[in-house]
Structures are given as structure tokens and as C-alpha cells.
Amino acid sequence: MELRPLLDQVRARHRTAASAVTETLRAAIVDGVIPGGAALRQDLLAAELGVSRMPVRESLRRLETEGLIDFVPHCGAVVATLSTEDIFEIAQMRVALENLALERSFASSDMSHLDQAEAICVALDDAEALTVFTSLNRRFHMALYGIKPGTRLRRQIETLYDAYDRYFAVEHARLDRRRRSQDEHRALLAACRARDLSAARRTLKRHIGDPAAKLAAIFERRNPPV
């Protein structure tokens, strides 16, 4: 792995060694320099990057929260496997279930949950850390649909969000869709307040489908079909 040159490129943008190592490893995973399923040994990474094991250990934990790394018993850190098929399947299932959630919310006369969704949308404007943005994004959608915790539909949707978290990290690193995502969030809110289910469905499909298609293109360029 040629990670040291990449670390040298990003180091100036970070105040701590751990954040620089995190960006370096994230980019290497996203770009396929470190393939899915590869074991990540702290001592070898520290030697390759020319840093101590402490920032490497912290970086691996951060990447675990982003879903890019799994910690496997007796094996340690392993790069998560990412695929175009998985992206499209998750996106298609999200569109189907979140459309159902939209329909149910429109059937209710109580739309007070939209005020909560709007407050979360405002908070998203100031969310800089990826983990904060990811959490607020999920809360926004759950509030938008007005589905209570513990219901079967919400559990199924949140399972799909869990599965997509690792791709969300790639989306954040490569597509920089935050402004576009927020524009779509506000369009969803406007459609819901106007009781325009058709517009809400169109916006939701674009909101979920566009980044999935762009991410799939990234992976296809990285791993062209034989």
C-alpha cells in the first residue's frame, strides 16, 4: 500500500494526526487502494504512515462508526465490502418503504411532525462532523414521515439506514452532496406542507436514487467488469 504520500497530501488540512490518518485511510478504502476484506493491522499501518499506533487506533475506531471497517473477533479490523449491487438494492428498498411512510403520513390530518423535521433540517445546516450529519439526516427523515419509534415500518427503514451508513461515508467523501441534500430536504418539507404527495414522491426518489447512481459509477470505475 502506498499510503504515506497520501497522508503527506492531507496532513496540512488537519490539526491532529488521527484526523489526517482517518482521511488517508478513508480515501484509500473508497478508491480501492485497500480492497474490501483486507485486514488492517495497527502496527503495519503505523509503520507505513510513519506515525505511532495511537492515531491509527483512533482512526480505525472512527472508520468503524462510519461503517467502512468492521472489527472481527480474532482478526481485528477488516475493510468492509462495498458493491454496486448492494447500493442499488438498498436504494430501491428505501424508495419503496419511505414512499409507504410518506403515504401514511399524508393520510393523517396531524402534520405537527413537520415542525420537528424543519427544526432538524436547520440543525443540519451547521452539522460539520460526518457522524453528526448522518444522525441528524436519519432523524430528519423519521420526523418527516411522523413514524413512531418501535413500529415495524420504522424498524425496517432504520435497518436500511444502518446498511447505507458505509455508503453515506463514501458519498460524503466523494460527492460532497450536503448542499444538494439540504435543498432536497427543504423541497420534501415544502411538498409535505402543501399536501402534494406526487411532488414529495418525485423528490424522495431523486434524493435517494441520484447519489446511489453516482456512487455505483464510482465503484464501477474502480472495479471495471472483466
Count of structural domains within the chain: 2
Query: How far is CA 40 from its chain centroid?
Result: 22
Look at residues 48, 79, 110 and tell me which one is the last residue of a structural domain. Answer: 79
pLDDT of residue 223: 62
Average pLDDT of the chain, as a whole number: 88
Residue type, 10: V
**Counting Cβ atoms within 10 Å, is residue 167 exposed (0-12), middle (13-18) or buried (19+)?**
buried
Could you list the beta-strand ranges (E) of the chain: 39-40, 69-72, 76-79
Q: Are 31 and 66 in the same domain? A: yes
**What domain range includes position 88?**
84-222
In this prediction the pTM is 0.76
> Tell me: the pLDDT tens digits for 132-151?
888 999 999 999 999 989 99
157-195 pLDDT per residue, tens: 999 998 888 788 777 777 888 899 999 999 999 999 999
How much is the average pLDDT of 70-92? 89
Distance (Å) of CA 201 to CA 63, 129, 147, 208, 222: 33, 29, 17, 11, 32
Same domain assignment for residues 177 and 127:
yes
| Per-residue pLDDT tens digits for 100-115 | 999 999 998 888 999 9
- Give dist(CA 194, CA 144) in Å, integer: 13
